[in-house]
Structure 1
Amino acid sequence: MSDIDVRRDVDVRRDTDVRRDVVYAAPVGYRPLALDLYLPPRPTALCVYLHGGGWRVGSRRAGPGAAAKWTAPSFFERVAAEGLAVASVDYRLSGEAVFPAQADDVRAARRFLADHADEFGLPSASTVWGVSAGGQLAALAALEQPSTDVPPALAAVCWYTPSDLDALSADVAEAGGEPDRSAASREGMLVGGALADQPELVSAASAVAQVPTDRQPPPFLFLHGDADRSVPPRQSTRLADALRAAGGAATVELVPGGTHMFPELDDDATLSLVRRSTQFLLDAVG
């Protein structure tokens, strides 16, 4: 990364306490599920980070886009250096279990983090950040009904996120992509069948259908490439419109020429988006 201060990079690594392979759940019949923690000295808030991969692949160890290959410091260490404790969470993939298993896993991770906040020195303020499939899970987490055992998400950042699974194929077709509503599609694998055969799960997995009407949703920031044909930007604007209609604040920022996962962006451009997202979460928690 050409313009990064090397001395600051060393400070980032030295000041961040990294705890890997923290098992947060062991669903019967499945692999143990783990998260990695990145802890700055005095975190302002907790950020639960959810990776992408079409619900089929992906790992908690990988940052988004060009940030996936950042090392010394990693994407997660850079975010932590800004004052956010980061919990990067693995969840069951669609080849292991169908929805709502993934949302259940995210809820279990957030509950675990709340229960062990004192042990890890975690702040009470909680936020979520997800990319692609992880953005779908982050949005659902942010819109959940508040409960006594899982703190509410005070803000959400979603990068190139599918938010309306039923409308996604039409949005893809309109953007010039190849729509697929079959059981073999990434969405079909998530819900365990062709979308037409699973309307209840399709709705439950779509954040636009989960926007509350009885309370104000937390603020959202959406980053989306305006040339994305895999998950067109209309998916972000659909959810943003629903959030605003419910009295929430939603900001959609389009990346010119950006396609899915922002492969066109170099390290510096990606870092700019990372900093924008991090600052949004910090501002939201005050």
Structure 2
Amino acid sequence: MLSRTLSRVLATTALLVTALATVVAAGLPTAAASRPPRILRNLAYAPAQPAGTHGHLLDLYLPGQPAGKPYPLLIVMGGSGWMADDGKGYAPALAPYFTTHGFVVAGVSTRSSLQAKFPAQEQDVRAAIRWLRANAGRFEFDPDRIAVLGDSSGGWTALMAGFTGTGVRAVVDLFAPIDFLRLDPDMLPGACASFNKAFHLARCHADVASPESSLLGCPILTCPDRVAAANPLLRVTPSAPPVLIIHGTEDGLVPLRQSQMLFDTLAAASVPATFYTVPGVGHSRDIVSPRAPRATIRHTGTPLTRNFPHPTYGMIESFIRAAYETGTQPTPPLARPRTRTW
């Protein structure tokens, strides 16, 4: 048994090294000969509910160069505190890099909390993945190599998709809320006052009109069962796909502790995970930049990223490609989670 486990660890490590050796370390596109992506907008993966809304639409960004073999697919969902149905609007920021580097990119929208309460958003992303997988041949991507990425509430949606049996192979989470009941206790000093002012609230995340309460349709302190149902931590199993987590230390909306809890839960389940903690950065997509401060990086098991001191598109690509090589089965437990500060 020990020899089989050791063989699996060595084989996985060899695959990771091979995959990572082929990845460009830069955070910006470098393939000068590539053509702009082809864009297909407003494809309906489900009927509009309610009529006239946009939470059932996705945009596809297809590489301009011909496919020698099916491309991997990256699904992108932007956050809005669940208050908007335009999650696909984040994809244009990532599509130029990832289509140049051989990915199809899908920007996916889900219904807002004004249009439908949880679990509608989880149902929407699952429907989008089913539609995309059914149309993989039409758009020349590999239905068995799908990754999901999102920021803030979009990161929460990505995690819910990754942990609910969709067959997603990798999850990239940028500063997502995780455990709604732990948001307020872990907020930075003074952050609740700023949060209340920004969202016109009185009781921070516990307010009856907070983004989390609006998502669930109840004040979060009064409906623990619904809060638990929306908690990605309670969906984690050893068969979960690898997860990349990125969070800034100065996030005044979603405390850093939320991502720490996620990483610890993944580590306890022996799920491959990498956690970038970026000093001095708040709740901002600018956290993914070669200009971001050097990060503290933690791994569970065999690292799926190497030699990337900053969170960049190149690092995200590296992680996703390495995750494809590991398969969806968990790696065997190795050492305790390791911390590396660059």
Q: TM-score, normalised by structure 2?
A: 0.71
Give the partner amino acid of 2:269: A
Shift of 1:216: 2.4
Deviations 1:25-52 (A, max 9, x none): 1155343511011122435411111111
Q: Paired residue for 1:285?
A: 324
Moved more, 203-212 or 100-109: 203-212
Closer, same or farther: CA 216–15 of 1 in aligned 2, 3 Å: same
Q: Which residue of 1 aligns with 2:46?
A: 25
Q: CA RMSD in A?
A: 2.5
Equivalence map 1:1-286=2 (5 Å) = 8=32, 11-12=33-34, 14-30=35-51, 31=53, 33-40=56-63, 41-42=66-67, 44-57=71-84, 59-63=86-90, 74-124=93-143, 125-144=145-164, 146=165, 150=166, 152-172=167-187, 174-178=188-192, 179-212=204-237, 215-262=238-285, 269=291, 273-286=312-325
CA deviations 1:185-233 (Å, max 9, x no partner) are 1111111120022222211111112112xx4221111011111121111
What is the identity, as a one-letter code, of the residue corresponding to 1:280?
Answer: F
Identity of aligned residues (%): 32
Q: Give the Å deviation of 1:175.
A: 4.9
The 1:7/1:261 distance shift into structure 2, 3 A limit, reads: same
Q: Which amino acid aligns with 1:177?
A: A
Question: What is the CA deviation profile of residues 215-271 of structure 1, one whole-angstrom value per residue up to 9, with x for unaligned ones?
Answer: 4221111011111121111111101111111111121101121000155x6965379
Q: Which amino acid aligns with 1:228?
A: D
Aligned length: 264
CA distance in 1, matches of 2:216, 2:152: 16
The SS at the match of 1:269 is: coil
How many angstroms apart in 1 are the aligned matches of 2:262 and 2:319? 18
Distance 1:114 1:184 in 2: 36
Mapped partners of 1:164, 1:252: distance in 2: 17
Q: CA deviation at 1:75?
A: 2.5
Distance 1:77 1:165, change over 3 A: same
Is there any run of 5+ residues in structure 2 with no aligned partner, and where? Answer: 1-26, 193-203, 293-309, 326-342
Inter-CA distance 276–266: structure 2 relative to 1 (3 Å threshold): closer
Contact conserved, 2:29 with 2:101, CA < 8 A, in 1? no
Structure 2 counterpart of 1:71: none
Contact 1:34/1:89, CA 8 A, preserved across alignment: yes
Partner Cα distance (1:267, 1:282) in 2: 19
* Structure 1 portions without partners, runs of 5+: 69-73
Partners in 1 of 2:162 and 2:235 — Cα distance?
A: 10
